[in-house]
Amino acid sequence: MKKMMPWLITILLAITLIVLAVFLLMANQFPKDDVANAVNSVETKHLSADEIVELTSEITGIKTNLSDPDYIVLMNFAFQLDTKKSKEEFDKIKDIKIKPIILKTLADTKAEDLKGANGKDQLSAKLINLINKTLTEGKLTQIEITDYLLAST
């Protein structure tokens, strides 16, 4: 038994170090805080009510199933962009590019992921990141969920 003790200690230490290394690498590869990433990447500036209206576009009547087919969600969104030119571009492509992005994102979302303000903020952050990749002129600065209804079938 005394001859096996150093081997056992070495094996346990090696396994512990491997597990620790895996956890550290996983945390770097898959960050969970999409909301913080989106908030850090978007500049906030104070706008008047008229400026907000000029830079905001709406998509209403998004009705789709979530990843769990027992739930249907009905949502309306208000998208605030950084410039008038980017809003014009957004309005041109919102039915053919933006709406499908929203539908795909909701199709991968579970009902419990949308519960509470944090769930809606995470959805908004994910949408900001995805939509900004499709815009060629300007960027999306904020998404507000203006209407939300979750129903089970």
DSSP-assigned states of every residue in 33-86: -HHHHHHHHS------HHHHHHHEEEEEEEEEE-SSTTEEEEEEEEEEESSHHH
Domain count for the chain, please give it: 1
144: CATH: 3.30.479.30
Q: String of b and e for 59-70 (b: at least 16 CB within 10 Å)?
A: beebebebeeee
Asked whether residue 148 is domain-assigned, the answer is: yes
The answer to whether residue 1 sits within a structural domain is no
**Rounded distance between C-alpha atoms, residue 80 and residue 132, angstroms:** 12
Count CB atoms within 10 A of the CB of residue 132.
Answer: 16
Tell me whether residue 2 is in a domain: no
| Structural domain range at position 103 | 34-152
pLDDT tens for 31-83 read: 555 555 554 444 556 878 888 889 999 999 999 999 988 999 999 999 999 99
Question: What is the reported pTM?
Answer: 0.69
